[in-house]
Amino acid sequence: MASSLTKDPSSAAGGEKTFFGHPRGLATLFMTEMWERYSFYGMKALLPLYLIAPGGMHMNATTATTIYSAYMAMVYLLAMPGGWMADRFWGPRKTVAIGGAVVILGHITLAVPNSATFFTGLALVALGSGLLKANISTMVGHLYKGPEDPRRDGGFTLFYIGINVGAFLAPLSIGTVGENVNWHFGFALAAVGMALGLAQFMLGTRHLSPESDVVATPATEQEKSSALRKGLIWLIVAAVFYGLLGITGNFVDWGVLPITLAGLVIPVAVLVRMKRDKELTSTEQSKLSGYIWFFVVAAVFWMIYDQNGSTLSIFGEHSTTNTLLGFHFPTSWYQSLNPIFVMAMAPVLASAWLWLNKRGKEPSTAVKFASSLVLIGVSFAVFLIPLLDTAANGGKVSPMWLVAIYFIQTVAELCLSPVGLSVTTKMAPAKYSSQMMGVWFLAVTAGDSVTGLLTSKQIGVNLDNTGAVAFEVILAVIAGVGIWMYRRKVSQHMGDVH
């Protein structure tokens, strides 16, 4: 990992500029993703608070969690068609540019102080993020000479730090403006962030790999016409369905149900379709079987982890003092804890993996995933303590409880997320090169969809509840132990991928 943070001597000798020893294009993708994540995480920090605020949508906490979870599921669900659009129609580079423009339009729509257009804005941001997210990660992989390039994992770690720079700055600026000045000004600031990211991408696009312009499996004219026709039909169906819900006043109660159900059905259908693809080689099929294990584990992880923006954030608003050393801060600032911990801990953990690798003792990918699940379970076990305290005494607790929880979750995330991004690019069948990154994000969709269904009006589980939190602790630990027990079988499926 140390080599990824220094200038590559061979590149320097040839006069080629590098980015901490990595291809120059990594800087372009680093900055683009940083600004896109700035806009995304800024809006994410505001969303649940805006939904429950008297000056916002004034919803109850359970309904706000449902909408937040459905929105997050939709963002990652749309990463799959985003990868498909790149593979069949536009190529990754063009798809990212279009996605950035759609995100800007979505944030501008959210900035309009009109509740009728609010959900349209959310849908546009989700659509743009879906087009952008999978493809920009794929382009990072294009910068390196195959899966065995020793700089590859280090490049993804640097890219992951870029994500967290944007995520750290967003709540401190967008969150503060939204909570203390005007909610819609905060959403507008998110649009400015994405505009900066898109401009930077267009200026630095010449540094990217030519492979990023390639349409992997170009669609025929007939397929293009069919896709356009089907897309228009589904758009009309959605417009009619949600229009009727809006007219009848049932939008909030029933609008998210199709999204959360789709978020569970579609990931399963996609994986089944890939497994049945007879064009894949036996080696690709074996790797795909191993990948399914990682997918299921990741889904359980994200179901719990993504509640840091809903369950934990709303707990912070209602049940913590939000005061430290006499300084009072906005609730949205809690969302900056995770990225600052990532930036502090990622180099440490990456160096630890390298140190263990040199001694032949680096944990396998399966063991890293198992560790992430146990740790995410521990974080919610800690969450039980302030929950029980507020239930017994009815007062507010120290914000340091949330600081501790976010720290544990960050270590858990670093055992899973960057490792998952890298292993996805390594294990992806050639036919599904861009789509496979979308499959990885479908694990987030599945996890958030479960949360959305549990908190929906039809089921109505309050996740800010000691019984629900205790159940999630047990679930995470059992899943972690499960993949640890089958780690050798998973490694066999992975073949030459390590």
Q: Where do the domains of the chain lie? A: 20-209+256-494
Q: What's the length of the chain?
A: 498
3 state SS of 19: strand
Q: What is the pLDDT of residue 187?
A: 93
Contact partners, residue 332, CB within 8 Å, separation at least 6: 45, 46, 49, 171, 174, 175, 176, 178, 179, 313
The DSSP element (H or E) to which 23 belongs, if any, is strand 22-23
Q: What is the pLDDT of residue 3?
A: 32
Cα–Cα separations (whole angstroms), residue 382 to 324, 336, 385, 394: 20, 20, 6, 18
Q: For residues 141 and 440, is the Cβ–Cβ distance under 8 A?
A: no
CB-based burial, 35-73: b 16+ in 10 Å, e otherwise: bbbbbbbbbbbbbbbbbbbeebbebebbbbbbbbbbbbb
pLDDT in tens, the chain (498 residues): 333 333 343 344 445 577 777 788 888 888 888 999 999 999 889 999 999 998 888 888 888 999 999 999 998 888 878 888 888 888 888 999 999 999 999 999 999 888 778 889 999 999 999 888 778 877 887 888 766 677 776 777 778 778 888 999 999 999 999 999 999 999 999 999 999 999 989 988 888 888 888 887 888 888 888 888 988 998 899 888 888 887 877 777 788 888 889 888 998 898 888 888 888 888 788 778 878 888 888 999 999 999 999 999 999 999 999 998 888 999 999 999 998 998 888 888 878 878 888 888 878 778 888 899 999 999 999 999 999 888 666 778 999 999 999 999 999 998 888 788 777 777 778 777 666 777 888 899 999 999 998 888 878 788 878 888 999 999 999 988 888 877 676 666 555 555
Q: What is the pLDDT of residue 243?
A: 82
Q: What is the pLDDT of residue 497?
A: 55
Q: What is the pLDDT of residue 251?
A: 74
Fold (topology level) of 20-209+256-494: Growth Hormone; Chain: A; (1.20.1250)
pTM of the model: 0.85
Q: What is the pLDDT of residue 313?
A: 94
Q: What is the pLDDT of residue 296?
A: 87
Q: What is the pLDDT of residue 239?
A: 85
State how far the Cα of 313 lies from the Cα of 317, in Å rounded to an integer: 6
Q: What is the pLDDT of residue 14?
A: 45
* Number of Cβ within a 10 Å radius of residue 89: 15
Alpha helices in 181-277 (DSSP H): 183-204, 221-248, 251-254, 257-275
